[in-house]
Amino acid sequence: MLKTKEILDEKDKRLREVSKEVVFPLSKEDKELIKKMITYLTDSQIEEKAEKYDLRPGMGLAAVQLGVLKRYFVVVHEREEGVFDNYILINPKIVSNSEEQIYVELGEGCLSVNREVEGIVPRYARVTVEAYDENGQKIRVRGREELAIAFQHEIDHLNGILFTDHIDKENPFAGENLYRAI
């Protein structure tokens, strides 16, 4: 089982590296890591399990956050109470996005950033991502609102970018009136 302490902290320089394209077929290690990521993210969103196993709640994890510099991530989205959709996106690319931009009103978070960070992180309200699934089949996924934010956040990780990089250092709430809060 994956433990919170195995997730790299923002001070770790590996988080600033650009991850490498994945070559198929996936290795046994990558398949096992993906399973662990899904389990961690699912359990972290179920309050009793999060408390029992001391998990920080999260809906996305990029391989780089576990020290694996490969272009894949997992998002576990709770569609409704106790119902989760798993997204495994390998070599993802955003192929289209909305003009409308949004931000998380309570602030974006990250399993690698172990502190409260205030400020606006502008994100597209809708994105379409092309990627590959675990079997190397090309897939196309659309995300809206929090799912779109999660996809953009995780793709940033693959490019060595943290959400804190998007916040205006001088004025963390700059542009608040330009974007819709969710």
pLDDT tens digits, 84-124: 999 999 999 999 999 999 999 999 999 999 999 999 999 99
Cβ neighbours of residue 47 under 8 Å, at least 6 residues apart?
none
Taking the model in full, what pTM does it have?
0.96
What is the pairing mode between strands 101-103 and 180-181? parallel
Q: What is the pLDDT of residue 113?
A: 97
Read off the amino acid at residue 5. K
Question: CA dihedral in degrees (63, 134, 98, 158; nearest 10)?
Answer: 20
Q: Using the 8-state DSSP alphabet, how is residue 115 labeled? A: S
Measured from the Cβ of residue 20, the count of other Cβ atoms closer than 10 Å reads 13
Question: What number does CATH give the domain 4-181?
Answer: 3.90.45.10
Instruction: Give the whole-angstrom CA distance, residue 79 versus residue 46.
Output: 13
- Among residues 17, 48, 146, 154, the one annotated as catalytic is 154
Contact in structure between 114 and 39 (CB atoms under 8 Å): no
Q: What is the pLDDT of residue 31?
A: 98
- Indicate if 154 belongs to the active site: yes
Answer whether the bond into residue 122 is a cis peptide, omega within 30°: no
